[in-house]
């Protein structure tokens, strides 16, 4: 349904020829540049912007939970533009089919062969809008792509181009005709973020910027895909000492002891990875508890189910409580 | 302090967690050690230490094994069986003459008598008895405590300890330690069963210390007033074993005898003699014990060797006299036999006491061997003599033997040995009534350390030295001849009481040796009598004695054995405890300061109160082991109390803050940061649990740059995995600086 990628990555059998990591300071300045660049367009969401950049560096995907019209799409687009990579957008609807996401084999009359038409998932920054409006089967097609960084169509596996980051949005106001994401799938998003309404000053600034030429039009890339891939290697190499690992474990345990469903080990891993990215953002090659704390709410809150079943709010409260009470060592 | 409230079954001591069960086991072990120490002491005196140790160890091992496999009912039967077998073995080992006289009733009566404060040491075969009861006493409590039957274990051990407390063999200190151990075994046992908190452990410690403090102030154990745990309370210098015979009964009578210049009795006899009261065979390092029972009066055989008959008529001049003084060897009572019995070493003894004016006539056969007879007497001792009169506490025997070997180097016969020892003592030790009772073995102390002493010390040392040379000897007490007031009459005062030595020679019998130098003794004595006369003390003199001493016309003083030292007619000496007669008594080797003191003459005839003694100059001395142990206990209690009140934690905190021992860089940096945190907590606020070090340091405004640097180092070491000696040095040095400045944190 959207513009197909003319050069999809062929079925990948690439080895582990991972790119050389950037030095930490370069990675830090890269991340800083991206954040600044995005903020040319997005006003008043510095924290969210940082979270998104760290999620990309930590190979994570994002879930934006929000009311419509607060700039989710714009955020994703400016991000894709800043990194100079491909941006794709899928509007999830109740009738959206899995192949609408992943791509489909089309019979070529001339060559009399089936030819794979890549879906919108073959992009570097993929905005999956209103993911909760699509039926579970379609959702899970996207989620598999997120988890595996590859898609399988008719038995054929296609590796996705890196960096690959999904920014999915959910609208709170959907009411009926939505399919709530199952907890197992929501767990695959590294972070859940909320933009929220801008403050009056920020909003008037937004209005000032969009009059005339939209700032996104003039946005220049500040990083290449290759640089992002290398920065990801940097993040992966960040030291996380036992003290930090144990702190993460204690946080997870704290939620497990107090919620119906606590943070999964996948959540702990995500938190540590996010912490690594946060450390790089700060120009360090080691994680400190502060990094973990900075990421904890965004990474953990959607993974816990409290008894009240009041959703993210009480999850966030529990995480805040954990940060307050779990001793830092 | 939340750890205090945590219920658990372990005591956390720093990093070590000790289960309460093992604390209870340890306490029970201490309890058992208290009464087993009494048995050990017994075997130390009479021999069999190695056998006892082996037996106890074997029993403990057996009990440990049995605790795993043997049900309680079988174990109980086993203990009863062990006890029965042990006691049966003991009765079989008692020499038949004793056994003939014993019936079941008497055995029971004997045991009951033991519980009234008669030392187990009085038993003739106490060594066999100790070995007999040891297995049962070791097995029961140990088995029970290992099976976690704490209350039963303490009950069993407590009964055993109580027995020795009642016999008086367990002194105040042992009793106290045993009681503390019993209490803590119960306490920890309860904690082990039900779980306990650190606060409860503190409470136990405080309770134990309260026991120490209270019982030191008010001694409630038998003999406690006589042997208080800490000096200065009430009693004179006595030993733990002193409580054995230190009943009121003894003190009453001895008090008036021992200290008084008043007349005790007068003797009408052809010749003068040492008016002997009794002798003692068993030496336990602290004093003397007479083993065996007194028997009904019957005439005694004369000594086997040559002897001279001496008829003595003794008139009691004191209110009461608990003995029948007579020259050795008393053979027959011409009058007064109805009221007499014979002690186990052959002296006569009144049943009850003699009253003023009572008279008895006793016939003695005084051994009268020539010197050559003594020299040639040989060493062919009868078995029971050799066995009974050559015993020495094993713990000091070797040392005394070595010294005596040197002193008696040239002596080839027992007689020569005795003379050599006697001469050495007379030449090397000064006579003084004013001595401090040494700790530990009296003979050993007198021989090696002390420079002065009086008759009891001389006699005790000489017996010990003789016994170390395998010469049978015993400790004899009585009176010196006294003041000769007429040709055939001697007046004997309380301060004529004396102690000397009797040595056994085959075919001759017991021969007296007196190692105490005579001269100084006489001076002390006459001075005292004179003083008493000046103060008009009643009963210092009889009608005759006031008129002065009758001087014999012969110039040659009579000698009874030819070995006696020069002795003028008034030569006499105070004996601390001549004591009333009867089995079980023993004189104490306690110094008697009152007699020697001329500045504060108390009412004569009444024992100076102990308080006066204690009020005198107390010499500065190092604490005894008992005092050290008690001090240690008190310190433990104070620590527990301090912990309860948090003082200990504060103290530890401060010490911890100021002093940092170095280990590896990681630990050093972590500790340095912890110290910094403590410092900041004092000055600003504590770090909250969820607060990262970085947040904390950032949150404190105006913080010292050095503190920030420590924070950076901490972060790098702890989170970046850097381990660097230089960084650690820097961190520790910075924190040291900050701690020293204390106020240097804020700018």
Q: Mean pLDDT check: name the lowest of A318-322, B400-404, B568-572.
A: B568-572
At a CB cut-off of 8 Å and minimum separation 6, what does B136 contact?
Answer: B79, B80, B82, B83, B86
Residue among B666, B671, B692 with most chain A CBs within 10 A, to mutate: B692
From residue A63, how far is each of A171, A303, B463, B710 by CA, in Å? 11, 12, 103, 40
3-state secondary structure of A303: helix
CA B477 to chain centre: 21
Q: What is the mean pLDDT of residues B241-267?
A: 43
Q: Is B228 a residue whose pLDDT tops 50? A: no
Is the pLDDT higher at B430 or at B703?
Answer: B430
Closest CA to A286 of B666, B716, B720, B723: B720
User: Taking the mean position of all CA atoms in its chain, how far away is CA B248?
Assistant: 19
Where does residue B363 fall: left (phi above 0), alpha (psi -120 to 50 degrees), or beta otherwise?
Answer: beta
Of B21 and B629, which is predicted with more confidence?
Answer: B21
Confidence (pLDDT) at A13: 40
Contacts of A323 in chain B (CB under 8 A): 690
* pLDDT at B535 (0 to 100): 67
| A221-225, B361-365, B372-376, B593-597: segment of lowest average pLDDT | B593-597
What residues of A are in contact with residue B721 (Cβ under 8 Å)?
239, 241, 286
pLDDT band at B61 (very low <50, low <70, confident <90, very high): very high
Q: Is B3 exposed, middle or buried (0-12, 13-18, 19+ CB in 10 A)?
A: exposed
- Interchain contact, A290 vs B688, CB within 8 Å: no
Look at residue B372 in the predicted model and tell me its pLDDT. Answer: 84
Half-sphere exposure of B704 (CA within 13 A, CB side): 20
| Beta partners for residue B476, in sequence order | B279, B500
- For the cut 80, the answer to whether the pLDDT of residue B595 exceeds it is no
Half-sphere exposure of B349 (CA within 13 A, CB side): 24
Q: In whole angstroms, what is the distance from residue B11 CA to residue A45 CA?
A: 55
Partner-chain residue, chosen from A239, A288, A324, that has the shortest CB–CB distance to B692: A288
Output the pLDDT for position B40.
Answer: 87
| DSSP code, position B287 | B
What number of other Cβ atoms are within 10 A of residue A226's Cβ?
A: 14
The single residue listed with the structure tokens 């001076």 is B523
* Contact across the interface for B720 and A284, Cβ inside 8 Å: yes
**Model confidence at B236: pLDDT above 70:** no
pLDDT tens digits along B330-342 = 888 888 777 788 8
> Which one has a higher pLDDT value, B746 or B265?
B265
Distances (CA, A) of A304 to A318, B87, B554: 9, 76, 122
Is the pLDDT assigned to residue B547 strictly greater than 70? no
**Any CB–CB contact under 8 A between B698 and chain A?**
no
Residue with tokens 């003599």: B385
* Alpha-helix residue ranges (DSSP H) falling in B434-578: 442-448, 455-468, 518-534
DSSP B297: -
- Give CA–CA dist A247/A288, Å, rounded: 10
DSSP 8-state secondary structure symbol assigned to residue B588: B
Do residues A104 and A121 make contact, with C-beta atoms less than 8 angstroms apart?
A: no
Name the nearest CA neighbour of B276 among B575, B513, B483, B476: B476
Which residues face A150 on adjacent strands? A159
Size of interface A-B (CB pairs under 8 A): 47
User: Which band of pLDDT confidence, cut at 50, 70 and 90, is reported for residue B58?
Assistant: very high
Any bridge partners for residue A118, and if so which?
A: A103
Residues 6+ apart with CB under 8 A from A310: none
Check CB contact under 8 Å for B718 and A243: yes
Instruction: Check whether A172 has a pLDDT greater than 70.
Output: no
Cβ atoms < 10 Å from Cβ of B133: 21
Q: What is the pLDDT of residue B611?
A: 34
Q: Which domains does chain B have, with CATH numbers?
A: 12-217 (no CATH), 249-587 (3.10.620.30), 647-741 (no CATH)
B669, B717 Cβ separation under 8 angstroms: yes
From the list B692, B635, B657, B482, the residue with the least C-alpha distance to B572 is: B482
Q: Say if residue B73's pLDDT is above 80.
A: yes
B329 prior amide bond cis, ω within 30: yes
The model's pLDDT over A249-298, given as tens digits with 9 standing for 90+, comes to 888 888 887 777 778 888 888 888 888 888 888 888 888 888 888 888 88
* pLDDT surpasses 60 at B567: no
State the pLDDT at residue B104. 59
* H helix runs in A88-199, sequence order: 98-102, 136-148, 183-186
Q: With CA atoms as reference, report the closest residue to A275 among A298, A256, A301, A259.
A: A298
Higher-pLDDT residue of B609 and A40 is A40
Q: In angstroms, what separates the C-alpha of A88 from chain B's closest C-alpha?
A: 39
Q: Where are the alpha helices (DSSP H) in B606-720?
A: 610-615, 625-645, 647-658, 665-683, 693-699, 705-719
- pLDDT, average across residues B229-242: 35
Span A180-185, mean pLDDT? 74
Higher pLDDT, B662 or B490: B490
Please determine, for residue B22, whether its predicted confidence score (pLDDT) is greater than 80: yes
Residues on chain A touching B720 (C-beta within 8 angstroms): 239, 241, 284-286
B2 vs B502, more confident:
B502
Q: What is the predicted pLDDT for the residue at A9?
A: 45
Q: Residue B203 contacts by C-beta under 8 Å, 6 or more apart in sequence? A: B644
Q: Tokens 């003290």 belong to which residue? A: A243
φ/ψ (deg, to 5) at A307: -60, -35
> Rounded to a whole number, what is the distance in Å from the CA of B720 to chain A's nearest CA?
5
Find where tokens 């009950």 sit: B155
- Residue linked to tokens 């998104």: A52
Please state, in angstroms and rounded to a whole number, the distance separating the CA atoms of residues B185 and B23. 7
- Give the one of B688, B689, B692 whose C-beta lies nearest to A290's C-beta: B692
Q: Tokens 């474990």 correspond to what residue? A: A249
Q: How far B162 CA sits from the closest chain A CA (Å)? A: 54
Residues in chain A: 329
The Cα B100–Cα B648 span in angstroms is 66
Kindly indicate the confidence band of residue B29, based on its pLDDT and cuts at 50, 70 and 90: very high
Chain A residue numbers touching B688 (CB-CB < 8 A): 324
A326 → closest Cβ in B689, B716, B719: B689
Q: How many CB atoms lie within 10 A of CB B739?
A: 19
Q: Classify A45 as helix, strand or coil.
A: coil
Helical pair A242-258 and B705-719, crossing angle rounded to 10 deg = 80
Half-sphere exposure of residue A202, counting CA atoms within 13 Å on the CB side? 15
Token reading at B263: 């007349």
Q: 3-class DSSP state for residue B517?
A: coil
Q: What is the pLDDT of residue B548?
A: 61
| Token pair for A136 | 């579970």
Asked if residues B297 and B503 have their Cβ atoms less than 8 Å apart, the reply is no
- The residue among A127 and A2 whose pLDDT is bigger is A127
User: What's the CA gap between B94 and B89, in Å, rounded?
Assistant: 9
- Confidence (pLDDT) at B545: 62
Domains, in order of start, for chain A = 24-229 (3.40.50.300), 238-325 (1.10.8.80)
Instruction: Tell whether A326 is within 8 A of chain B (Cβ).
Output: yes
Q: How far is it, in rounded angstroms, from Cα B133 to Cα B471?
A: 31
State how far residue A169 is from chain B, nearest Cα, in angstroms. Answer: 32
Question: How sure is the predictor about A309, in pLDDT bands with cuts at 50, 70 and 90?
Answer: low
Taking an 8 Å cut-off on Cβ atoms, the answer to whether B719 and A288 are in contact is yes
For the ranges A58-62, B2-6, B409-413, B439-443, the lowest mean pLDDT is seen at: B2-6
The torsion of the CA quartet B203, B209, B213, B216, rounded to 10 degrees, works out to 140
ipTM: 0.75
Average pLDDT value for residue range A33-43: 82
pLDDT at B112: 66
pLDDT tens digits, one per residue of B78-97: 888 888 888 888 777 766 55
Weakest-pLDDT range from A37-51, B378-392, B619-633: B619-633
Task: Flag if A327 and B690 touch (Cβ within 8 Å).
Answer: yes
Q: What is the pLDDT of residue B617?
A: 39
How close is the nearest chain B Cα to the Cα of A190, in Å? 23
Could you tell me if residue B562 is left (phi over 0), alpha (psi between -120 and 50 degrees) or otherwise beta?
left
pLDDT at residue B587 greater than cutoff 60: no
Residue B727: C-alpha distances to residues B26, B460, B706 (Å)? 46, 71, 13
Distance CA A246, CA A255 (A): 14
More confident residue, B674 or B556: B674
* Rounded Cα distance, B260 and B604, in Å: 6
- Give me the residue from A239, A286, A326 closest to B690, CB to CB: A326
The helix/strand/coil state of B679 is helix
Kindly report which listed range (A27-36, A211-220, B109-118) carries the lowest average pLDDT score.
B109-118
Least confident of A151-165, B138-152, B438-452, B559-573: B559-573
For residue B105, what pLDDT is reported? Answer: 60
Mutate to test the interface with A, among B690, B691, B715 (most CBs of A within 10 A): B690
Tokens of residue B418, six digits: 């005795």
For B140, other C-beta atoms within 10 Å of its C-beta total 27
B701, burial (CB in 10 Å: exposed 0-12, middle 13-18, buried 19+): exposed
* Nearest residue to B529 (alpha-carbon basis) of B485, B497, B499, B495: B495
The fraction of chain B above a pLDDT of 90, given in percent, is 3
Query: Is the Cβ pair A324, B690 closer than 8 Å?
Result: yes
pLDDT for residue B590:
42
- The mean pLDDT of chain B is 73
Number of C-beta neighbours around residue B261 at 10 A: 26
Torsion angle, CA of B126/B128/B133/B139, rounded to 10 degrees? 130
Query: Which of A142, A140, A121, A110 shows the shortest CA–CA distance to A4?
Result: A121
- Put simply, whether A65 touches B (Cβ < 8 Å) is no
Nearest alpha carbon to residue B478 among B653, B348, B627, B633: B348
pLDDT of B606 over the 60 cut? no
Question: What pLDDT is attached to residue B57?
Answer: 92
Instruction: Using the predicted structure, report yes or no on whether residue A56 has a pLDDT greater than 50.
Output: yes
- Answer yes or no: are the C-beta atoms of A241 and B718 closer than 8 Å: yes
Band (pLDDT 50/70/90 cuts) for residue A178 is low
- In the predicted model, what is the mean pLDDT of residues B275-280? 83
């Amino acid at each position: 349904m959207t513009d197909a990628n003319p050069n999809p990555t062929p079925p990948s059998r690439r080895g582990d020829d991972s790119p050389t990591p950037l030095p930490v300071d370069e990675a830090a300045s890269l991340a800083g540049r991206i954040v600044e660049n995005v903020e040319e367009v997005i006003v008043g969401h510095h924290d969210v912007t940082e979270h998104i950049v760290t999620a990309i560096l930590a190979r994570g995907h994002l879930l934006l939970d929000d009311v419509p019209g607060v700039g989710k799409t714009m955020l994703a687009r400016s991000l894709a533009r800043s990194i100079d990579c491909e941006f794709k957008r899928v509007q999830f609807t109740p009738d959206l089919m899995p192949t609408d996401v992943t791509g489909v084999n089309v019979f070529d009359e001339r060559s009399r062969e089936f030819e794979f038409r890549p879906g919108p998932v073959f992009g570097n920054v993929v905005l999956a809008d209103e993911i909760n409006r699509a039926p579970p089967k379609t959702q899970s097609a996207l989620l598999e792509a997120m988890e595996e960084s590859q898609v399988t169509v008719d038995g054929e596996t296609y590796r996705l181009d890196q960096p690959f980051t999904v920014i999915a949005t959910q609208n709170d106001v959907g009411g009926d005709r939505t399919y709530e994401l199952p907890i197992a799938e929501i767990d695959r998003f590294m972070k859940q973020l909320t933009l929220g309404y801008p403050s009056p000053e920020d909003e008037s600034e937004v209005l000032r910027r969009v009059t005339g030429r939209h700032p996104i039009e003039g946005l220049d890339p500040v990083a290449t895909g290759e640089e992002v891939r290398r920065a990801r290697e940097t993040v992966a190499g960040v030291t996380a000492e036992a003290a930090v690992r144990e702190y993460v474990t204690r946080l997870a345990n704290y939620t497990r002891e107090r919620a119906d469903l606590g943070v999964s080990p996948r959540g702990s891993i995500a938190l540590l990875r996010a912490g690594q990215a946060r450390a790089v953002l700060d120009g360090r090659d080691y994680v400190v508890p502060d990094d973990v704390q900075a990421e904890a709410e965004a990474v953990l809150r959607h993974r816990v189910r409290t008894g009240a079943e009041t959703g993210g709010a009480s999850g966030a409260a529990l995480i805040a409580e954990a940060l307050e009470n779990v001793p830092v060592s | 302090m939340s750890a205090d409230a945590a219920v658990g079954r372990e005591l956390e001591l720093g990093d070590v967690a000790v289960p309460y069960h093992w604390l209870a086991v340890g306490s029970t072990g201490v309890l058992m050690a208290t009464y087993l120490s009494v048995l050990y002491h017994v075997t130390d005196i009479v021999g069999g230490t190695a056998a006892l140790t082996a037996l106890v160890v074997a029993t403990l091992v057996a009990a440990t094994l049995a605790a795993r496999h043997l049900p309680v009912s079988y174990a109980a039967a086993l203990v009863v069986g062990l006890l029965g077998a042990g006691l049966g073995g003991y009765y079989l080992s008692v020499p038949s003459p004793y056994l003939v006289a014993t019936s079941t009733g008497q055995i029971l009566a004997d045991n009951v008598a033991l519980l009234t404060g008669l030392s187990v040491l009085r038993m003739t075969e106490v060594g066999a008895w100790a070995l007999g009861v040891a297995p049962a006493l070791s097995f029961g409590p140990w088995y029970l405590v290992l099976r976690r039957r704490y209350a039963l274990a303490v009950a069993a051990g407590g009964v055993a300890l109580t027995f020795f407390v009642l016999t008086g063999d367990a002194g105040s200190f042992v009793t106290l330690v045993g009681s503390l151990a019993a209490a803590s075994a119960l306490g920890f046992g309860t904690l082990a069963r039900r779980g306990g908190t650190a606060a409860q452990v503190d409470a136990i410690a405080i309770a134990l210390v309260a026991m120490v403090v209270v019982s030191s102030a008010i001694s409630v154990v038998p003999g406690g007033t006589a042997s208080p745990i800490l000096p200065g309370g009430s009693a004179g210098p006595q030993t733990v074993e002193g409580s054995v015979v230190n009943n009121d009964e003894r003190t009453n009578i001895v008090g008036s005898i021992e200290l008084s210049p008043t007349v005790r009795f007068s003797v009408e006899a052809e010749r003068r003699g040492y008016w002997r009261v009794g002798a003692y065979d068993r030496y336990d390092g602290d004093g003397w014990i007479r083993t065996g029972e007194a028997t009904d009066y019957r005439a005694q055989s004369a000594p086997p060797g040559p002897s001279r008959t001496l008829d003595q008529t003794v008139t009691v001049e004191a209110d009461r006299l608990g003995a029948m003084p007579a020259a050795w060897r008393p053979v027959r009572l011409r009058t007064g036999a109805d009221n007499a019995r014979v002690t186990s070493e052959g002296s006569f003894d009144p049943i009850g006491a003699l009253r003023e004016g009572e008279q008895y006539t006793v016939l003695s056969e005084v051994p009268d061997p020539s010197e050559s007879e003594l020299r040639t007497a040989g060493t062919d001792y009868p078995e029971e003599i050799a066995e009974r009169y050559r015993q020495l506490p094993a713990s000091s025997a070797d040392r005394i033997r070595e010294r005596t070997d040197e002193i008696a180097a040239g002596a080839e016969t027992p007689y020569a040995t005795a003379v050599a020892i006697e001469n050495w003592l007379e030449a090397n030790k000064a006579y003084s009534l004013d001595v401090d009772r040494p700790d530990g073995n009296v003979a050993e102390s007198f021989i090696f350390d002390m420079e002065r002493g009086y008759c009891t010390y001389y006699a005790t040392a000489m017996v010990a030295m003789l016994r170390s040379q395998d010469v049978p000897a015993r400790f004899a007490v009585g009176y010196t001849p006294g003041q000769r007031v007429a040709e055939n009459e001697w007046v004997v005062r309380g301060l004529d009481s004396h102690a000397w030595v009797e040595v056994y020679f085959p075919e001759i019998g017991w021969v007296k040796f007196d190692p105490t130098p005579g001269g100084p003794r006489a001076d002390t004595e006459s001075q005292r009598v004179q003083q008493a006369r000046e103060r008009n003390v009643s009963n210092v003199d009889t009608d005759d004695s006031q008129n002065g001493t009758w001087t014999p016309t012969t110039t040659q003083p009579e000698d009874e054995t030819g070995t006696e030292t020069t002795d003028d007619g008034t030569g006499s000496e105070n004996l601390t405890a001549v004591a009333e007669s009867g089995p079980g008594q023993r004189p104490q080797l306690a110094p008697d300061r009152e007699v020697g003191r001329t500045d504060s003459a108390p009412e004569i005839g009444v024992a100076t109160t102990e308080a006066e003694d204690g009020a005198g100059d107390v010499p500065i001395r190092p604490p005894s082991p008992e005092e050290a142990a008690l001090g240690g206990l008190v310190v433990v209690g104070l620590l527990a109390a301090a912990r309860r009140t948090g003082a200990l934690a504060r103290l530890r905190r401060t010490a911890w803050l100021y002093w940092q021992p170095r280990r590896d860089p990681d630990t050093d940096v972590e500790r340095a940061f912890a110290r910094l945190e403590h410092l900041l907590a004092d000055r600003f606020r504590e770090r909250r649990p969820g607060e990262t070090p970085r947040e904390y340091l950032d949150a404190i405004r105006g913080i010292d740059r050095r503190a920030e640097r420590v924070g950076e180092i901490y972060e790098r070491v702890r989170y970046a995995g850097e381990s660097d000696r230089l960084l650690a040095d820097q961190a520790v040095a910075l924190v040291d600086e900050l701690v020293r400045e204390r106020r240097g944190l804020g700018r």
